[in-house]
Structure 1
């Protein structure tokens, strides 16, 4: 077990659609604010929240935001390797409550039983489910789970209230969010004319991590030409065109590899006929 200092993440540091921020407020911050009154009225003080979405959309960043803005809560981050000691971590959470328990990439442990290939993995899953069931309604514990692969999660976890009470999507950034991200990451840059609008349009469909990388490439291009921080549409074109080619190449290779796996599986099936 290690003790870490969590990063300070303010509301202004979180770039998400207003509707998503409102859900975070309702299901987490307002819940904690009114938890004592809810318990007095016979409601549970524990809550399971699943954050799901494409890779790179900022689920870990949201976890840091939640932890930083609930300073009276202790935060326990449980990795897949630590799942075999599940009982100890839940016992610690009870001692430290109010507490936040974080299980990142929950699909690594809580994948569908149909996809589990080892007894060890199923043991981890069963221990997680049993410990979540064992939390009393008086426990002041938030359980945050994140996943990039919602469809692969075990239904007994993802679809059962009392384990996961709320599933919140952390979506790919829309036009407004991508513009805010570009301005945030590229605060030192001076976009001329339609350069900013072009960057927003060209990053459509990209994650927050993708936008961050594109801004870094724009900054690097500025530094390489002598430090001028003025960004033109030509700069945007020179940065985004190669990146778009990279993405297309990766997608082609992924499709080819997937087709090869399917064909290999067909051959194996025929071989057993």
Structure 2
């Protein structure tokens, strides 16, 4: 029985080999192994292959660099890998060794990738570039990530009879990726990928346009933040000459709806040309990659929204937090002279890990964004209201009634007033604002007020300077940083 089984398997394998040979002879295609052998001048199956992984979010950069380098050879050409879905699983080594059988020349695969908020580029997703590099023929397989087929990362593989030429090509490619990028000066966020961070690309965001006049904060809060985030960047060369560090961490904390994200949007608006990486929610696990990208694309910002989600105090009893250590490593891993700012926001400063906030160099400026006082509530209503619709007296009255309200509440109050006027077929006026205030502040809107941040702790006020503070035992303030409010923990 065993002898017959062995004979059957031997015949079966031979039948498969004959079938492959028949297909290779009759599909009318050149075999890739023959094309590669002719191109490099020696049997392709006997040549070592040098490979390099590429971050998914740099794949468009890779395609641009590959086209630039290969384009120096007037005889460069691009071919594809023939076959069905199995070609998606094959590496360059599989192709030249014909591990899945003979592979014919096919058409390259292309995919459209975003290269800006409003622009895309057709890039080679799977293809072989044949060209001469410094006189040495090379074949380079370029493959995009394809999690559907188990390939979570992108890569290039180089085949050439001269290994030094292959290594030199990859070194030049790396230098191109280091110095040139479509990401430089852009605002991007990492896309969530269910297959893991290796498969995460980037989403390009339009840089917001938000002047300082539309950021309503008390006292000199905004000026203090601007000096630390933008002022240091503007004076980077002078600071370097005097041996001062540029890497910095800024924490904006305070109740929800007070303007932390609004302040971040203004900083983005005022930092044209700076690369910004936004991390929030599921993308916070990409903080390590964001830090590497920020280092390469400096001057840059890494914005961590709701940092407490991944940097909660270890003493709060929730067990190990691996992402906390990624955050700390990212903050510590940059050189002091790197013009990179980590801009973090939280509604729960008291829950933050002390190793994050009580160590200079990780967070060297913490600014409380308080609830607006009555004068700022008037300014917020003026900002959101249509020009000339409500009188000063009506705005003042509405502001005085909404003690403890946030900027979000002021926006909703104006919207409700306009809606009441539209429903009544009238032009918006003082009576509609008063009625909207009465409605929103009534018992029936208690949940809405809570969601919009009205009726808070009343800690806001126009005298609130929003200064940095960690209480006794916290970090010594840096020069020029005022210490005022105490975050809620006890050191």
Whole-Å separation in 2 of the counterparts to 1:92 and 1:8: 24
Whole-Å separation in 1 of the counterparts to 2:421 and 2:284: 46
Alignment match, 2:394: 195
Aligned counterpart in structure 2 of residue 84 of structure 1, from 263, 285, 290:
285
1:242 correspondence with 2:242? no
Whole-Å separation in 1 of the counterparts to 2:278 and 2:412: 27
1:40 correspondence with 2:237? no
Whole-Å separation in 2 of the counterparts to 1:250 and 1:10: 28
Alignment match, 1:163: 362
Aligned counterpart in structure 2 of residue 209 of structure 1, from 399, 408, 414:
408
Q: What's the CA shift for 1:6? A: 2.3
- Gaps in structure 2 of 5+ consecutive residues: 1-201, 451-491
Q: Normalising by structure 2, what TM-score?
A: 0.48
Alignment match, 2:309: 108
Whole-Å separation in 1 of the counterparts to 2:448 and 2:209: 37
Alignment match, 1:153: 352
Give CA-to-partner distance per residue, 1:185-236, whole Å, 9 cap, x none: 112452247322211111221000011111111111111111312213xx34
After superposition, the CA RMSD in angstroms is 1.9
Alignment match, 1:18: 219
Q: Highest Rg: 1 or 2? A: 2
Give CA-to-partner distance per residue, 1:33-78, whole Å, 9 cap, x none: 2222112111101110001111001111111110110112110012
CA contact (8 A) 2:440 2:448 kept: no
Q: 1:15 to 1:69 in 2, by over 3 A?
A: same
Alignment match, 1:259: none
- Gaps in structure 1 of 5+ consecutive residues: 252-273
Whole-Å separation in 2 of the counterparts to 1:85 and 1:211: 35
CA contact (8 A) 2:301 2:340 kept: yes
Whole-Å separation in 2 of the counterparts to 1:250 and 1:42: 50
1:98 correspondence with 2:98? no
Higher strand share: 2
CA contact (8 A) 1:189 1:229 kept: no
CA contact (8 A) 2:310 2:324 kept: yes
1:184 correspondence with 2:372? no
Q: What secondary structure does 1:67 align onto?
A: helix
| Aligned pairs, number | 247
**Larger RCO (alpha carbons 8 Å, 6+ apart):** 1
Aligned counterpart in structure 2 of residue 138 of structure 1, from 337, 352, 355:
337
CA contact (8 A) 1:189 1:230 kept: no
Whole-Å separation in 2 of the counterparts to 1:249 and 1:177: 21
Whole-Å separation in 2 of the counterparts to 1:247 and 1:86: 38
Q: Normalising by structure 1, what TM-score?
A: 0.84
Q: What secondary structure does 2:252 align onto?
A: strand
Whole-Å separation in 1 of the counterparts to 2:247 and 2:447: 44
Q: What secondary structure does 2:204 align onto?
A: coil
Q: 1:83 to 1:118 in 2, by over 3 A?
A: farther
Whole-Å separation in 1 of the counterparts to 2:367 and 2:273: 23
Q: What's the CA shift for 1:153? A: 0.6
